[in-house]
Amino acid sequence: MYVQSFEAQNFRNLAQAEFLPCPGVNVIFGENGQGKTNLIEALWLFTGCRSFRGADNTELLTHGQSTARLALTFCSNAREQTASLALTQKKRLLHLNGFAEPTPRRMLGVFPAVAFTPATLSLAQGGPGERRRFIDVALSMLTPGYAVRLSKYLKALAQRNALLRQAAPSPEMLEVWDAALAQSAAALTNARLRWLAQLTPLAQEFYAGISAAREVLRLRFAPLGEGETAPGAEVYLAALRRARPTDQRCRMTTIGPHRDDLVLTLDEKPLRIFGSQGQQRSAALALKLAEATVLRAATAEQPIALLDDVLSELDACRQRDLLRYLEGWQVFLTCCEPSHTLHGQAGKVFLMAGGKSTAHITKTL
């Protein structure tokens, strides 16, 4: 799959921008604050996921505008397809091949992408929430049903937490939400475990390659703090009932997929605590490359790669590893100043300039 053309209107500082990338490596360079990440973020929105910066619509609309429009032409399933997104303060409306779709989530799996950003390179250093988000975004892209299940789980969780905040929560109501939560929790955890079983050996292999096999990376995911076996709904139901006194005291649900962590270790020591910056970064890169491999193997179409400002964060060796791995992918890569190596690799180089509210993209090579 590859993007043929992209247009943006009133999206952040992209007041009116057009972009005709090549199917290979596209380098977008420019000074700070010119709109490079905005362009990557706009492309990412076509995956059906939310902004990787966690932005809501109000932040995405150009200041003072009420509607933003994004339009994409991409080649997938050997035919040209079109998608457009109209963003207002409250809504995101998707059209796919001319037809209105009920939700932008319809794009999950239709337009697969892997994003490498400075934040994803901090995956090993960050808190459990960031690693859960990594798992959830990857799984949503792979199986759209996962995103539906996750949203159901989060709704049930919010209801149970609201109940727990009451002075005397009704035990019958708690029972109702426990049952709903347990069903979704088991489905989510099983999907996570299946995906991690595929991801782990790949991540270990990438890490060994990046670190010249100096240390062994391990991933440990223990739902409910127990072994890596797949807990069924009944196990979650029993655990939620057991946790009820604690949950009532804390006024929130203290167990479940919203609390699990993917623990990374190097030679059995927690990477988050004992790893050097370089080791943590290599592990994050290995996880992302493994995610990309699983996604590529599972989708009939080649996903696109979005590399926002990551090369400057990696040393020359890791830069080469990453670009070598992405050979054959359509890549969108942003940087302040394209290096000589990049000039050699790039199919097209674009300058992003104009700043504040009038960024424009010009092809330079």
Ligand X SMILES: Nc1ncnc2c1ncn2[C@@H]1O[C@H](COP(=O)(O)OP(=O)(O)OP(=O)(O)O)[C@@H](O)[C@H]1O
Question: Segment contacting ligand X (CB under 6 A): 27-35, 119-127, 169-177, 248-256?
Answer: 27-35
Q: For residue 199, with 0-12 CB atoms within 10 Å meaning exposed, 13-18 middle and 19 or more buried, which class applies?
A: buried
Q: Is 320 in the site for ligand X (CB under 6 A)?
A: no
Strand order from edge to edge, sheet including 269-270 = 217-221, 262-266, 269-270
Q: Is 37 in the site for ligand X (CB under 6 A)?
A: yes
Q: Is 34 in the site for ligand X (CB under 6 A)?
A: yes
Nearer to ligand X among residue 177 and residue 332 (C-beta): 332
Q: Is 38 in the site for ligand X (CB under 6 A)?
A: yes
Nearer to ligand X among residue 43 and residue 210 (C-beta): 43
Q: How far is the CB of 362 from Mg ion (least distance, A)?
A: 18
| Cα gap 92→57, rounded to integer Å | 8
211 token code pair: 């670190």
Q: Is 357 in the site for ligand X (CB under 6 A)?
A: yes
# chain residues binding ligand X, by CB under 6 A: 19
Q: Is 35 in the site for ligand X (CB under 6 A)?
A: yes
Question: Segment contacting Mg ion (CB under 5 A): 31-39, 63-71, 130-138, 213-221?
Answer: 31-39
Strand order from edge to edge, sheet including 113-116 = 113-116, 304-308, 330-335, 25-29, 348-353, 360-363
Going by their DSSP bridges, the two strands 330-335 and 304-308 should be labelled as parallel
Nearer to Mg ion among residue 191 and residue 352 (C-beta): 352
Q: How far is the CB of 36 from Mg ion (least distance, A)?
A: 5
The per-residue b/e assignment along 280-306, b for 16 or more CB within 10 angstroms, e otherwise, is bbbbbbbbbbbbbbbbbeebebbbbbb
Among 37, 47, 265, 330, contact with Mg ion (rule: CB under 5 A) = 37
# chain residues binding Mg ion, by CB under 5 A: 2
| Cα gap 27→305, rounded to integer Å | 12
243 token code pair: 């946790």
Question: Going by C-beta distance under 8 Å and a sequence separation of 6 or more, which residues neighbour residue 43?
Answer: 3, 6, 72, 113, 304, 306, 332
Nearer to Mg ion among residue 87 and residue 335 (C-beta): 335
Q: Is 265 in the site for Mg ion (CB under 5 A)?
A: no
| Cα gap 239→255, rounded to integer Å | 8
Nearer to ligand X among residue 3 and residue 108 (C-beta): 3
Q: How far is the CB of 258 from Mg ion (least distance, A)?
A: 30
**Beta carbons within 10 angstroms of residue 242's beta carbon:** 11
Q: Is 30 in the site for ligand X (CB under 6 A)?
A: yes
Nearer to ligand X among residue 37 and residue 84 (C-beta): 37
Q: How far is the CB of 3 from ligand X (least distance, A)?
A: 18
- With vertex at residue 338, the alpha carbon angle to CA 336 and CA 344, rounded to the nearest 5 degrees, is 165
Q: How far is the CB of 51 from ligand X (least distance, A)?
A: 11
Q: Is 105 in the site for ligand X (CB under 6 A)?
A: no
Alpha-carbon Rg for the chain, nearest whole angstrom, is 22
Amino acid at 114: V
Taken as a whole, the chain contains a residue count of 365
Nearer to ligand X among residue 63 and residue 242 (C-beta): 63
Q: What is the footprint of ligand X within residues 44-83 (CB under 6 A)?
A: 59, 61-63
Nearer to Mg ion among residue 34 and residue 253 (C-beta): 34
Give the torsion sign (CA, 340, 346, 348, 354).
negative
**Maximal CA-CA distance, the chain:** 68
Binding letters toward ligand X, positions 180-219, x by CB under 6 A: ----------------------------------------
Binding site for Mg ion (CB under 5 A): 36-37
Binding site for ligand X (CB under 6 A): 12-13, 30, 32-38, 59, 61-63, 309, 336, 352, 356-357
